[in-house]
Structure 1
Amino acid sequence: MITPEKRQGQPVSVVSAGRGRSWQYNKDGDESGYIAASPSLGFSNNDSGRAEYANSVRPQGIEISEAVSVNKQYLVGPYGAYHDFIELHNNTGNDISLSGMFLSDNIDNLNLAALPNVNIPAGGYIVFILSSDGINTPNGYTVLPFSLAAEGESVYLSKDGKITDCIVIPALSSDNSYGRANGSAAFSYLSSATPKEANSSAVAETAPKPTSSVNQGVYNDVNSLSVELNGKGTIRYTLDNTEPNATSPIYNGAIKISSTTVVRARCFENGYLPGEVLELLYVINEGIELDIVSIITNPDNLWDYYTGIYAEGPNAEAEFPHVGANYWQTWEKEATVSFFEKDGNGFSEPCGLRIFGAYSRALPMKSFCCFFRSQYGASELNYKLFKNSDLTTYEAFVLRNAGQDFNRARMRDAMITSLVADATSVAVQNYRPVVVYLNNEFWGVYYIREKLNENYVAGNYSVTEDSVVMARANGTYSDEYQELIKYVRSHDLSNEENYQYILSKIDKENYIDFICSEIYIANTDNGNIRFFKSSEMDGKWRWVMFDVDWSFSDYLHPTVSEHLNPEGTGSLNRFSTALINALLKNNSFKEEFIRRMAWQLQNIWTDEKVLTRINEIKTLIQHDMVRDHEKWTLTMSGWQNHINKLITFQQKRPAEIYKQIKSYFSLSDSQMADYGFSK
């Protein structure tokens, strides 16, 4: 927006134009104006003037030719992946080398992406794949380390620190292209993308997104809905979850629906690119009690044999968990995720959709992760997902199927970790039970969970992502943690100086609570460990309790000796216990550890607290679990039996922990009492 002012500070006029657009007067002395597709600085405000201006600033040599910021159709990579791309063109009659040239979407860092030392032949083209993440790309293409924002941004071509060309990309819908039309120097929308070929013809704009007078959401006690659509040109729509195209049915009047339906609509108009797709879910007479999360995506994104993320595909192993299946890949597909709360609040945002988890990927009801990226729309979700958290900004969240607890109690991880969070500093993921609809189909009872990564730490501890180091299992991804383990293997921590050095590196109370909790719950899948530190806190390692679905089952399990085994713990003793065993050689730490175990029995793992939490979650999800179990051929009696096992574990585990602690540390009953245990 530009606001010229008089001396007195009063505005003469206020004009505004969108990204990549120019506001122009109709003619000299005429204060009326309009928004043009390109500028005409120093030339007449008409098509001829705009063409003359474009030619006057057009680089002679290598120029930016075309860009696609939301790609779902062109240059497919391995496993059906699509990415942004940008094309350069040699507009001369001689070969030109790209050596010393750079592309960047940051004017303050023009040298962001060095171009390869290759020649573009006379009149030729070269395409670069753009991605902020490490990816596998189509054969013969180079990846540059940035991506394009769907809402639009600028990209700069430079050499020797000087900008030689620039493209100001406006907001683009999926598969729309922006660049220099064939034979033109000016930038415009293009009728179609043509990577590595001469560009197509220019079109004026993108058709607007249609609207509906009937809000999407949950409708109970209705016979039917009449969905009315409004838009420019011809509105085409689908009711089979697919994206509308030029052959889809034409909207001629209200669409009457009487069952849960996804309505997708798009405007088509001559001289315009097809507009953004309107996506609406109407949940009709389903009687759902939980809040609802809707995922809408093209069916092929899920079920295509070769590229669908939910499909088994051609490379799956025969044995469970079918490694090699499509759902084991890190493929990401564009989707729209919407949230419908009972009070009418919610959101609807484009996202990248992936299958989430480990062995639970092979279960019929799979977990999802929703990523918010600029290539789809907004780069983050701004919404309060969890009632007990003040966080309102998320780069991603998980829709979890309860992991290996899917066909058992469907609550272990949420129940256990929330109890630990209530009384300790151990980090956990917040949870919120919801019903998920996958396109128009009821898909079951899930939990919204925080995505466990650097962004999780940044949000929950008020630090920057760059300050966070996150490691897993035996210290994977952290040389610093590996050095810490080397130290405890070679130094006696009964020596106070050595002990204090380690305490300067870890949050002692946090670590003790983590180990004590893992021991109590009898976690038999205890290798999936995460811990983190931040230079903006005290730089100490802290632990996260998560993925505890294989726990709270066998109350007799010898977890004390298993978790403290000097040879290691977990499957095949693959996971190091060097830190806890080195610390236990210090009498002060050992006494604090034993006392904290006693404290946990009296303050976390009490019948009152555990059974209350079990009943709270059961009450929340019970109604919708009936529908869930019908879908996944499970039984409610079986579900209740698994809940009863949780109750039995809680009632008998404290006495078993007493025995195991007493035996492992060779303590008498009176010594146990001194530590705070009750027999």
Structure 2
Amino acid sequence: MIRLYCLTFFFSIIFLFHLNSQTLIISEVLAANTNLNYDGFGEQDDWIEFYNIAEDTIQMSGMFLTNDSLNPTKHQIGFKSENWTKINPKSYALYWLDNDPEQGQRHISFTIKKKGGYLSLYDRDTNLVDHMTFGEQTDNISFGKINPESNDLGFFKVPTPNKKNKNGQKVNMKPNKVKLSLSSGFYQGPQTIELSANQNPPIYYSLDGSEPTKISSLYTKPIKINSNTVIRARVISDGYRPNLITNASYFINEKSELSVVSLIVSPNDLWDKRKGIYSNFENREIEAAAHVEYFDAKNKGVLKLAISKSAATRIAGKTSRRQPKKSFSFFATNEDGQGERFNYPVFEDKEIEDFSGLWVRADATSGRNVSDLWVGERFKNELLYEVNRQMNGQVDMQAYEPVSVFLNGQYWGLYNLMERKGKDFIFNNHGEAEVDILTSSDAKAVSGNISEYDQMISYIAQNDITQDSIYKEILNQIHVDSYIDYWVNETYCGARDISVNIRYWKSKSPDAKWRWISYDQDSWYTAQEESLKYYLDKGKVYLFERLMKNQTFRDDWINRMCDYLNKGFKAQNVISLVDKITGRIAIEIDRDRRRWQDSMLYIKKGERISWIKDYAVKRPEFIRKHIIDYFKLEHGVSDIQVIQNVSMGHVKINSIDIRKSFWTGKYIENIPIYIEAIPNKGYAFDKWKSKGLPQKRVITVKTKKNKKFIPIFKKIE
């Protein structure tokens, strides 16, 4: 709030400073162009009009236009044809807000909303030139300056694109937001809420999630509620700017051990046959205006309102969107004047304090095959995320938090609140803003282009990957640990939807490397799934198949898989994580089942929990055997023991820091493993007590059956 106040004050000071010397102004805005005028492509796009007050021509190329107060450089007006971007003295220029800059210099890379928003223009040095906040617009009625020499603003029933504004109806632009006597939260027993605003104007409100209009309830007395309720309220009065909507979620006698997400969406935007996102769930682009509130329960289970933000929401997921219980993605918008970010560190596991968007993932699947029948007990993504945290996994994964979701005050079920896996995810986790993001095993661009990836694949196809010099060149282009960890996880799961559930990215900065994102890991097959045969024999994964022909890569992949099987995917560890994950949500699972039992087919309670525990016991041994059989290795599995005095130091095998006095693991014989003796402070490595080992602190050895590693440390005198 302090940040927003300071920013607003900053803008105000600059704006006042420029009043006398200002030569370029935002003259008029139309955010609801239905049949007024058309661009050069015959489209009825919204627009912004600029006016040059000066006696000289102004060149707009290089200036910045934005609809986000926290992102002043959102769109830069291009230099391609400066004849199109100049404004002659005492003349106007119209720019189309259509998110289609490929149509020309005067087409901007974002759109604006009919319900209102913010626009500002900056010069090439990002000094503010002019800005305008506008309220909700009626179709074909514009908003702008009554005359160029004043700050008086008003509506124009007859818009005047590229002409002088005429007959404007002046409005008071000072915000007059409704205040509530009770903040959003959880309460015991019936509550009474009073609404108020400055100068006692008419206040209209709704209790069903709809946006208040003049046909909504007029506030005349305190509102009494005795059950979960959402209130939306605003001032609507002639001569005043249509004010921002005040939103609040009230939970009465409601308890939740999990954090809570409250989605407030107009019922018409949910259920309307033409534009409702729930009714038109197959349309992946349709979205609805929303308000999102997040109540954080991570502080000793006390639910605290941490996010209350305007947003746009869509139905998320692929085939699962056909289920009655659907996933939602939501994106922060600036309609509340607070920028386009959710400003709160939602996930304890990551030091990320703001997000452009988040999503709540439903416990619902498509039901395509037996492995998909997990409704009511789907937690495999979460299990893999926890395992990879333990293993310091180098493949990117989305953080998650189980939450209870309420839609317009109605309980909607158990969900997982998660990061979104787009450009914002990459920036938040790696600090890279300019990236190429690809998907599919045959490389399709999500963002950016595929040219550099195609060049790498062509290089691999034209050269002998078995040669270390060629492999080293590939290592300059891919983050090999990320790629290895990606396929370790896929192989453990026995996943087969590998052609679609894959995403990889690379920064556009010099010397950047391709990295992989692991997600949507729900389709596990049997514990006896021959994954390597499926991936490598049928040409399904060209890069993986080619790299496996290089001995160094193959050894590294096998060792990393063995590390996972000895720690993260060790049966006892997986079973413990399953109990932790399912125990945390046990109460909410029962409520979720009751909520959806009449419209969704749930798995028998406990059935899939038992299935995955059985999988955890059987899968490691099978994978080791599968590796030996598939690569036709002459040797078997080596049983490794580490015996050490952890008060003096410890051993690290490959990527595993071993902190126990006695440890056992299994590796593939004759595959070199890396072993390091790490002394504690005040101690030094002395020798290996084990027979036949080089007497060095760091060694690489090919193991044989029943090998022991016993480091001896000595105190530094």
Matched, 1:180 2:171: no
Aligned to 2:132, which of 170, 194, 205? 170
Does residue 284 of structure 1 match 2:275? Answer: no
Paired amino acid for 2:516: W
TM-score w.r.t. structure 2 length? 0.72
More displaced 10-residue stretch of structure 1: 167-176 or 451-460 = 167-176
CA displacement at 1:639 relative to structure 2: 3.8
Question: Given the alignment, which residue of 549, 569, 580 partners 1:585?
Answer: 549
Match for residue 333 of structure 1? 288
Note closer, same or farther for the CA distance 1:550–1:544 as it changes in structure 2 (3 Å cut).
same
Partner of 1:355: 315
Change (3 A) 1:193 1:511: farther
**8 Å contact 1:488–1:578 — kept in the other structure?**
no
Contact 1:295 1:439 in 2 (8 A): yes
1:469 aligns with 2:408: no
Partner in structure 1 of residue 455 of structure 2: 483
CA distance in 1, matches of 2:105, 2:232: 34
**Helix, strand or coil at the partner of 2:406:** strand
Rounded to whole Å, the distance in 1 between the matches of 2:509 and 2:131 is: 37
Matched residues in 1 for 2:283 and 2:469: separation?
47
1:444 aligns to what?
Answer: 413
Partner secondary structure for residue 529 of structure 2: coil
> 3-state SS of the aligned residue for 1:645?
helix
| TM-superposition CA deviations, 1:376-395 (whole Å, max 9, x none) | 64122221010111110211
Question: Which residue in the other structure is 2:572 paired with?
Answer: 608
Residues 302-339 of structure 1: per-residue CA shift (max 9 Å, x gap): 21111112213xxxxxxxxxxxxx54331232211110
Paired residues of 1:207 and 1:267 also in contact (CA < 8 A): no
2:266 and 2:539 map into 1 onto residues whose CA distance is 46
Which residue identity does 2:132 align to in structure 1?
Answer: P
**Which residue of structure 1 aligns with residue 585 of structure 2?**
621
Q: Contact conserved, 1:413 with 1:546, CA < 8 A, in 2?
A: yes
Structure 2 counterpart of 1:171, which letter?
T
5+ long unaligned stretches in structure 1: 1-15, 25-37, 43-56, 92-97, 313-325, 570-576
Match of 2:145, as an amino acid? R
**For residues 358 and 472 of structure 2, what CA distance do their matches in structure 1 show?**
38
Question: Aligned partners of 1:75 and 1:281: how far apart in 2?
Answer: 39
Query: Conserved in 2, the CA contact under 8 Å of 1:191 and 1:202?
Result: yes
Corresponding residue of 1:228 = 194
1:178 to partner: Cα distance: 3.7
Q: 1:117 to 1:460 in 2, by over 3 A?
A: closer
SS of structure 2 residue aligned to 1:666:
coil
Deviations 1:51-81 (A, max 9, x none): xxxxxx999xxx8541257x6999899xxx9
Query: Are residue 429 (structure 1) and residue 395 (structure 2) matched?
Result: no
- 1:655 CA displacement: 2.5
Q: Secondary structure at the match of 1:105?
A: strand
CA distance in structure 1 between the aligned counterparts of 2:342 and 2:33, rounded to whole angstroms: 22
Say which SS state the counterpart of residue 144 (structure 1) adopts: coil
Task: Please state how far the C-alpha of 1:677 moved relative to its aligned partner.
Answer: 4.8
Q: Quick one: which of 330, 346, 355 aligns to 1:385? A: 346
Alignment of 1:194-273 (within 5 A): 195=159, 200-219=168-187, 222-232=188-198, 233-273=201-241
Kept in 2: contact 1:489–1:578 (CA 8 A): no
Q: Distance in 2 between matches of 1:532 and 1:257?
A: 50
- Which position in structure 2 is the counterpart of 1:596? 560
**For residue 484 of structure 1, what is the amino acid of its counterpart?**
M
CA drift of 1:249 comes to 1.9
Q: Offset at 1:208?
A: 0.6
2:473 corresponds to 1:501: yes
1:146 CA displacement:
4.6
What corresponds to 1:560 in structure 2? 532
- CA RMSD after TM alignment: 4.1
Q: CA deviation at 1:284?
A: 1.5
User: What secondary structure sits across from 1:307 in the alignment?
Assistant: coil
In 1, Cα distance between equivalents of 2:210 and 2:37:
19
CA contact (8 A) 1:84 1:147 kept: yes
SS at 1:272 equivalent: coil
Flag structure 2 segments of 5+ consecutive residues without an equivalent: 1-8, 67-71, 366-371, 641-665, 670-704, 706-717
The aligned residue for residue 638 of structure 1 is 604
Tell me, in whole angstroms, the C-alpha distance in 2 between the residues paired with 1:418 and 1:168: 49
The answer as to whether partners of 1:20 and 1:170 remain within 8 angstroms in 2 is no
Task: Provide the C-alpha distance between the structure 2 equivalents of 1:627 and 1:419, rounded to a whole number of angstroms.
Answer: 28
Contact 2:204 2:235 in 1 (8 A): yes
Cα distance per residue 1:598-649 (max 9 Å; x no partner): 2221111112211111111111212112221122225776242122222121
Aligned equivalent of 1:364? 324
CA distance in 2, matches of 1:83, 1:366: 32
Q: Please give the residue correspondences for 1:402-421 in structure 2 after superposition, counting only pairs within 5 Å.
A: 402=363, 404=365, 407-421=375-389
Distance 1:626 1:129 in 2: 51
Q: Which amino acid is the alignment partner of residue 582 of structure 2?
A: K
Is the alpha carbon distance of 1:185 and 1:274 closer, same or farther for their aligned partners in structure 2, counting shifts above 3 Å? same
Match of 2:65 in 1: 105
Indicate if the aligned counterparts of 2:362 and 2:415 stay in contact, CA closer than 8 A.
Answer: yes
Tell me the number of residue pairs that the alignment of Structure 1 and Structure 2 aligns: 586
Provide, for residues 634-670 of structure 1, a one-character-per-residue CA deviation record: whole Å limited to 9, x for no partner.
5776242122222121122122213322221123453
1:550 aligns with 2:520: no
Distance (Å, rounded) in 2 between the aligned partners of 1:73 and 1:385: 40
Sort the Cα spacing of 1:124 and 1:293 in 2 relative to 1 into closer, same or farther, 3 A.
same
TM-score under structure 1 normalisation?
A: 0.76
| Distance in structure 2 (CA, Å) of the matches to 1:327 and 1:274 | 34
